[in-house]
Structure 1
């Protein structure tokens, strides 16, 4: 495994991080606790020291599973990353920015973006309890909240660093302008952003800005929630409540399948899967500190880590770029 310094912090993150969205179960057709714990353990055993979660993932369940999995582990050897700012329990009393509505067991649950100082401090204490730890390595604003001034949000995170509750503070899903505004109060260490072979918008402005200002970029959804693994085209049976039924409809699936067929020989030449090739490609892109890869069982976690066991030549990267430019 390769480890990379995060921005101007003293944190070193594994190039592949464990993304814990799916093990929360919500929006992913449920989860299996035993498999989830084993996946986290396998990831750590393979050198994946960076675990990324959020309170929203399973309404706290994802954080709880990580907390349970880390019992007996050397906490100093693992970086726990979590977030704040998505409220589902009504504790915001209608404040914040309405994001969307979740449908759970016939009930409508409104989700709000809410990043006030008081809410951040409240959420951090709740996360610390669920994670069974006394500090968070990187705390991130999950989504920008238009109703709360960014300086209030950054001041809260700076205070949490001084209090020893968190080691570093970052943003997520933030555009360059918001990053600039945030930096007027407290320079964020990172920005967690949507980035994949099929979604490369950040390359235009965000990546150059992050590189220039030494801000780490954490790439999420590099596999497009499993689409780029190629498995969907082999067996596209998804559970009825799996959100990917709608998510995949945004893509020209015939073009995606053709693209994957075109790059498959590169994966085969490395004795690797398509998923591993996609992950490795993502780790090699400019400005990317770490790439989040989800795993719902030990086998998937091990496979993700093994994506770092091969490299890509200049010629192979150029071929992939040519194929991507056909989209």
Structure 2
């Protein structure tokens, strides 16, 4: 994401700042902010430990009262999720600090300027409006080329609904195109694309992030975060090649975790492939992250332990 931040500094250094019309603010408010997209994770409690699900072998061996390793997975994944969000939004948030270079009734342009951190390239940021829809692009071209040569590294859309800050939007980072244009992108060399789709108009809000690996040799990696009334949170992601049970194959699993602001939570792990394909594991934990209930669908002799009533009410997140 360094290239996005550097491009922003270039734009900020070359433009005048601080003089915005009300119409400018309408454009700027269509850009997502960190608080719109970042996962609001529960505060870690003292006494938590554990190595995460990928470090657990020979089955989901956990006892009541022990620290849930699903909590660790959720926190680590949530932090990585927020790091990716921060990388994309650094540019958009800094754009708010400088005035547009060009103003038209339904168009704003910042630039073009020479990109000092990538010699030989020009950079500009363009936003267009059609009624309540906004489209924007961070564009590059080689210095000296004409207007037909601009290409978008970052693009986004936002459809406003019931207020300029509420609606449906998307962000797309086209790393493959950057490689084709010989634009420096070494920090993103493992990807072809990074896509974010979000909706903030109704509860529960949703943010979905998709990483598309370089060359399409492996499947895209998906993460989804949702937030409901009462600051209830949910994170869903996949964990391939996980050793859940003793057998000849590893399991591909999908983990959905939900949590309350005080740290209490629930995890549901579904096996997509492997020795126990179709199996489901459920676990609940208290504010200290310690297991209060668990259920293993494949265990006929001891399918549940603990008290199911200790699981928080997350019905506001049901689909």
TM-score, structure 2 normalization = 0.29
Q: Which has the higher strand share?
A: 2
Question: Higher RCO, 1 or 2 (CA under 8 Å, sep at least 6)?
Answer: 1
Q: Which has the higher helix share?
A: 1
* Structure of higher CA gyration radius: 2
